[in-house]
Amino acid sequence: MSTKIRQFVSFDWAMKKLLRSKANFGVLNGFLSELMDEDIHIVEVLESEGDREHAVDKCNRVDLLVKDSKGRHVVVEVQYRDELDYFQRMLYGTSKVVTGNIARGEPYARVKRVVSVNLVYFSLGQGDDYVYCGQTKFCGRHKHDQLELSDKQKAILECDSASDIFPTYYILRINDFDDIAKDGLDQWIYFLKNEALPENFTAKGLEEASEKLSVMKLTGFELEAYAQYEKELHIQASEIEFSIKRAENAEAAFEEERHQKEEECRQKEEECRQKELLKKKLIASGMTEEDIQKLLNG
């Protein structure tokens, strides 16, 4: 199958431009959540090898290495050109992540869990499906059972299966999708294949991704107008924030002045109280009123 020609800015370039910012993690969170069938929360971008700055660099893959809230390292790769040794490249990529994130002298238990997500736009391998998941399993040669972790290992390693220790590979053969969306992941694949979003699609992060890409498709006057609109929003936000800060500072100054006056009044009241107490003691001692006044005013 020939490589599809991308008509406008595509997901691989968008990942580099959008997903490096934590403000846009919702797109990647949504896609990975649909793929892995769990709520994924990306907390950090660790590495990106796709350093192309322009949308015309569409045929080059983009590697995006991120860390999720569970400490897993997730590698996302996009490949448009046919590559016969792509399986080996997947293995090499995960191996680099595994060996590159354990310090010298650390125990092997510190090895990071790695997930490799591969979006390929060519016929990789031979199979009838368009979504594949690969994991390492240890099967008994004689009794055909599956080797699993002991309870002690599960507690120490904080995982339930031996398969969880080794990299998990996802392969999405985008062009082999039949355009019939049966679930959230299918909706994402439809979007990645056709660069279109039907109104009834509700997959996590998909609407946000579409909106981001729509902005990136703007050209000429439209893009300039949108940039000016964004600038005005920032200016308005800054003015509002400045007004709030100014009001907060004025209120803080007023409160400080009020507290200062209250403290002065309290001190004066205390001085008067102390004088009254002293006056009573002096009267009790037999001192005359005239001498008492001289003493207090002196």
Cα separation, 181 vs 72, in Å, equals 29
What pLDDT, on the 0 to 100 scale, is given for residue 225? 60
- Three-state secondary structure of 36-90: HCCCCCEEEEEEECCCCCCCCCCCCCEEEEEEECCCCEEEEEEECCCCCCHHHHH
Token duo for residue 261: 């006056």
SS3 131: strand
The residue ranking higher by pLDDT, 146 or 206, is 146
Tell me the mean pLDDT in the region 162-173.
94
Give the pLDDT confidence of 16-50 residue by residue, as tens digits: 566 666 667 888 899 999 999 999 998 888 865 54
CA-nearest of 164, 162, 190, 163 to 177 is 190
pTM for this model (two decimals): 0.65
Share of the chain above pLDDT 70, in %: 78
Residue 230's pLDDT band (boundaries 50, 70, 90)?
A: low
Cα separation, 193 vs 241, in Å, equals 42
What pLDDT, on the 0 to 100 scale, is given for residue 220? 62
Lowest-confidence pick of 93-102, 111-120, 192-201:
192-201
Residue 83 burial by Cβ neighbours in a 10 Å radius (0-12, 13-18, 19+): middle
Give the pLDDT confidence of 79-106 residue by residue, as tens digits: 877 888 999 999 999 999 998 888 777 8
Tell me the mean pLDDT in the region 205-215.
77
Element (H, E) at 91: helix 86-100
Tell me how long the chain is.
298
Tell me the mean pLDDT in the region 244-273.
82
Q: What average pLDDT does the chain have? A: 80
Residue 110's pLDDT band (boundaries 50, 70, 90)?
A: confident
Please determine, for residue 61, whether its predicted confidence score (pLDDT) is greater than 80. no
What is the DSSP code string of 133-178?
EE----B-TTT--B----HHHHHHHT-S-GGGTS-EEEEEEGGG--
What pLDDT, on the 0 to 100 scale, is given for residue 228? 67
What pLDDT, on the 0 to 100 scale, is given for residue 219? 58
Token duo for residue 263: 């403290």
The residue ranking higher by pLDDT, 261 or 239, is 261
Please determine, for residue 10, whether its predicted confidence score (pLDDT) is greater than 50. no
Element (H, E) at 117: strand 114-120
Q: Mutual orientation of helices 289-297 and 220-284 as an angle, nearest 10°?
A: 150
